Amino acid sequence: MFCTNSLTLPHKITRVSSVRRGARRNPSPPAQVVDEVTASIPEDLRDLLDRPLFAALGTVRPDNTVQVNPMWFDFNGKYVRFTHTTYRAKFRNLRRNPSMSVLVIDPDDPMRYIELRGELVRVEPDATGDFYVHLGRRYGNPDQQPPPDSADRVILHMSVERVGRH
């Protein structure tokens, strides 16, 4: 279980093996896997993470289906970071299974994309909504204010373990 009032998780989260065993898998690999352990971002796709584009964030529901939602994000060179609340389904999904996948598509060339796969490795409190404000400004609102649910806000830190591309 995550402790949302600490800045780092006390240990690496272990996947629940029964979730993996029961999941249906596509036998064909993604377009191209760049690295399997702590992947680096290909330089020619870095702009997709630097630009204020929406990411499709996938998490695993309790019934092993995937929940995908558009999300604001920030990449700090090591982690993909999202703002979220502690009372929504996506957060509950991640508490149960820390596996995450992100897809960012180039709006100018929809066949150009980057897929990042990893795990939730850190949950950081953001009770003042500062990170939400940072993301709001990144996405074009210079007057972004903290949201009304700031008291329940956290910053989700996703590791980047595999990179897919096209």
Q: Where are the domains of the chain?
A: 39-165
- Here the tokens at position 16 are 């629940």
Confidence (pLDDT) at 37: 36
Confidence (pLDDT) at 38: 57
Q: Which residues of the chain have pLDDT under 50?
A: 1-37
* Amino acid (one-letter) located at 16: V
Confidence (pLDDT) at 2: 42
3-class secondary structure, 85? strand
Under CATH, which architecture does the 39-165 domain have? Answer: Roll (2.30)
Q: Name the nearest CA neighbour of 47 among 97, 108, 100.
A: 108
Give pLDDT tens digits for 24-65: 344 434 444 333 335 789 999 999 999 999 999 999 999 999
CA count, 13 A, side-chain hemisphere, 101: 14
3-class secondary structure, 154? strand
